[in-house]
Amino acid sequence: MRTARPFCRLASFCFVATIAVLPAAAQSGAVYRQVQGTLEYEEGGSLARRPIRSIQASIYPLSAPSNVSVVSTDSRGYFSANLRSASIPPGSYVEMTFQARNFAADVYLELDGANDRMTWRRRVRVPSGSAPVDLGGLVTVGNVSAHFNIAECLRVGHLYASARRGDTDAISRADVEYPDASWSHYNSFWNEIKLSGPRIRGYGGAVDPNTGAPVDRGFRDETILHEYGHYLTDDISDHDGTGGPHTETQDLGYEFAWMEGFPTYYAHAVEAAYPADVTMTRSLETNLGGPAGSEATTWACLWDLHDGLGTETFDRVNGTASIRTAIFQIFDSEIDRGSLRNGTSISRTILGFRSAWANRQLSPAADLDAVFAG
Q: How far is CA 63 from the centre of its chain?
A: 36
Q: Judged by CB, which is closer to Zn ion: 73, or 298?
A: 298
Residues of this chain that bind Ca ion (CB under 5 A): 167, 169, 236, 285, 304, 307, 310, 312, 315, 317, 332, 336
For the CA atoms of 354, 358, 361, 363, the dihedral, rounded to the nearest 10 degrees, stands at: 60
Region from 14-22, 102-110, 257-265, 272-280 binding Zn ion, contact rule CB under 5 A: 257-265
Q: How far is the CB of 326 from Zn ion (least distance, A)?
A: 23
Exposure string for 185-212, b = 16+ CB within 10 A, e = fewer: bbbeebbbbbbbbbebeebbbbeeeeee
Neighbours of 337 (CB within 10 A): 17
Contacts of 157 by beta carbon, 8 Å cutoff, 6+ apart = 104, 225, 228, 229, 232, 266, 267, 270, 278
Q: How far is the CB of 238 from Ca ion (least distance, A)?
A: 8
Q: How far apart are CA 37 and CA 210, in angstroms?
A: 45
Query: How would you classify residue 8: left for phi > 0, otherwise alpha for psi between -120 and 50, otherwise beta?
Result: beta
Region from 124-132, 237-245, 260-268, 364-372 binding Zn ion, contact rule CB under 5 A: 260-268
For the chain, the farthest-separated pair of C-alpha atoms sits apart, in whole angstroms, at 76
**The entry of Ca ion, Zn ion, none that residue 251 binds, CB within 5 to 8 Å by partner kind:** none
Q: How far is the CB of 50 from Ca ion (least distance, A)?
A: 30
**The entry of Ca ion, Zn ion, none that residue 43 binds, CB within 5 to 8 Å by partner kind:** none
Q: Judged by CB, which is closer to Ca ion: 43, or 315?
A: 315
Q: Judged by CB, which is closer to Zn ion: 180, or 260?
A: 260
Region from 98-106, 188-196, 208-216, 259-267 binding Zn ion, contact rule CB under 5 A: 259-267
Pairing of strands 137-139, 116-125: unpaired
Q: Judged by CB, which is closer to Ca ion: 85, or 188?
A: 188
Distances (CA, A) of 175 to 7, 82, 109: 14, 32, 11
> What burial class does residue 16 get, using C-beta atoms within 10 Å of its C-beta: 0-12 exposed, 13-18 middle, 19+ buried?
exposed
What three-state secondary structure class fits 127? coil
State the helix-helix crossing angle for 350-360 and 254-273, rounded to 10 degrees: 60
The residue nearest Zn ion at its CB is 260
Q: Judged by CB, which is closer to Ca ion: 149, or 237?
A: 237
Binding mask 208-247 for Zn ion (x = CB under 5 A): ----------------------------------------
Indicate the helix (H) or strand (E) that contains 160: helix 146-162
Q: How far is the CB of 168 from Ca ion (least distance, A)?
A: 8
Q: How far is the CB of 146 from Ca ion (least distance, A)?
A: 30
Nearest Cα residue to 94 out of 102, 103, 86? 86
Q: How far is the CB of 230 from Zn ion (least distance, A)?
A: 6
The residue nearest Ca ion at its CB is 167
Q: How far is the CB of 160 from Ca ion (least distance, A)?
A: 15
**The entry of Ca ion, Zn ion, none that residue 221 binds, CB within 5 to 8 Å by partner kind:** none
Region from 127-135, 255-263, 324-332, 363-371 binding Zn ion, contact rule CB under 5 A: 255-263
Q: Judged by CB, which is closer to Zn ion: 260, or 336?
A: 260
Q: Judged by CB, which is closer to Zn ion: 247, or 318?
A: 247
Using only C-alpha atoms, the chain has a radius of gyration, in whole angstroms, of: 24
Q: How far is the CB of 277 from Ca ion (least distance, A)?
A: 23
Q: How far apart are CA 56 and CA 70, in angstroms?
A: 7
Q: How far is the CB of 223 from Ca ion (least distance, A)?
A: 21
| Per rule CB under 5 A, count of chain residues that contact Zn ion | 1
Q: Judged by CB, which is closer to Ca ion: 69, or 329?
A: 329
Interface with Zn ion (CB under 5 A): 260
